[in-house]
Structure 1
């Protein structure tokens, strides 16, 4: 397994290099002068030139690129143009809030999605099956911002049951609406995939053999059917975890949640190029780590899988 992990890490290097290169090029061609943004519109040319020199913006583009690669190799993603804060420091301070939100959203999505998928497969073509799949399709189709605004309108500003926006010093009540908003789509995807995988497995001969041996239906469903249908479900859960960690941009913006997603939006609005580059690279790393963990989990789910 160790050699497999090393190979996966080596394979990830070109991916990270590609992401870094694309992000650097995009930031280079986007209109706007970071030095002018930092100085304001009334600065004199000498001050503007000094700021550009301090930021390295007076260098040719290829030298800026290699300088950026060298800094990134040392773990330095630059300094924010907006508040002079280190990008790595800002990401570290915001990641805890995003991790908390994504973790509970994934727990809710996995529990609801797996349970709904199993029950829909067991009760195929029943009223529960049709209702669950209708809700799942609606959950996949509903935009995140629409779900978030609807929950705010109904539960926060309509019935005043749950606080609306903010972090609330970690109070769990502020977590409810963002978790539901962020977990709707993953729950729907997991439910649909779990149902289809369970239906495919339950038609296999070994399931009929298990039932013919007189095993309880609960044992047949959970131990034999669900265990063999678990790999695709784990795959979708792993990819959704990465998406939740890196893609909570709209949810964190709607609910004023102080996470990495909101940090990315603030950086985009302010044209804070180092922070934009840092958040994109950080999100790419999250995807790679999540995919690696998913690949490694296959061996624990199915002992027949080897990493030689």
Structure 2
């Protein structure tokens, strides 16, 4: 049992490492400069160099990869040199120092997801934390609706076994499982938010909470689920 659990943990870590590696290198081969994205159109060469140094974008790809893994790892190594990217700055890492060897400090910390490129000065973990509650409500609602529809369609399919209605439900179920969720979401948004807008009063995009007509208070919008 223990060996089975250790096996599963090992493969989970290996899979996570593979995903992290693919995301890192995919991000680095795509066109565009993240430093320019952060500064926008008003950047100059001095600002650009400062941002690149701050986030380690001026380093070789192999060094950036090490920095990335070091930020994500709960056990990480940090330089005592304040000019180094891995310097243990206050407010950047939530860490507990374990021991120091020479110029390097080993710490135990929460994974650092870095800062948002579009919301300067804001940590990615903060951005995720702000959107996570609504995402959770949306996910649970979607699961409940899917279970309800699935049970109803299953009963109808059993009652009309091998008839045209059963075949239609099977085709609908196969399409539902085969079509990527992001594509089906666009189709649903277009159909209910644009084609049937007159009847549903829904928009193509929306939020679980919306401002009232006076812009003073936020109200929950169950119809947007």
Determine which structure has the larger helix proportion and give its number.
Answer: 1
Q: Quick one: higher RCO (CA 8 Å, sep 6+), 1 or 2?
A: 1
Compared CA separation, residues 90 and 2, structure 1 to 2 (3 A): farther
Output the CA distance in 1 between the equivalents of 2:29 and 2:166: 51
Contact 1:162 1:174 in 2 (8 A): no
Count of aligned residue pairs for this structure pair: 173
Compared CA separation, residues 37 and 60, structure 1 to 2 (3 A): same
Unaligned runs of 5+ in 1: 176-308
Compared CA separation, residues 140 and 6, structure 1 to 2 (3 A): closer
Output the CA distance in 2 between the equivalents of 1:15 and 1:141: 24
Moved over 6 A (4+): none
* Aligned residue number for residue 63 of structure 2: 63
Output the CA distance in 2 between the equivalents of 1:126 and 1:43: 66
Compared CA separation, residues 45 and 116, structure 1 to 2 (3 A): same
TM-score by length of 1: 0.50
* Aligned residue number for residue 126 of structure 2: 89
Aligned with residue 150 of structure 1, among 178, 191, 214: 191
Once the two structures are superposed, residues 206-245 of structure 1 have per-residue CA deviations (whole angstroms, 9 ceiling, x without a partner) of xxxxxxxxxxxxxxxxxxxxxxxxxxxxxxxxxxxxxxxx
Alignment of 1:142-221 (within 5 A): 143-144=183-184, 145-155=186-196, 157-159=197-199, 161-164=200-203, 165-168=206-209, 169-175=219-225
Task: State the 1:10 CA deviation.
Answer: 2.3
Compared CA separation, residues 132 and 71, structure 1 to 2 (3 A): same
Determine which structure has the larger strand proportion and give its number.
Answer: 2
Q: CA RMSD in A?
A: 2.5
* Aligned residue number for residue 80 of structure 1: 116
Output the CA distance in 1 between the equivalents of 2:153 and 2:2: 37
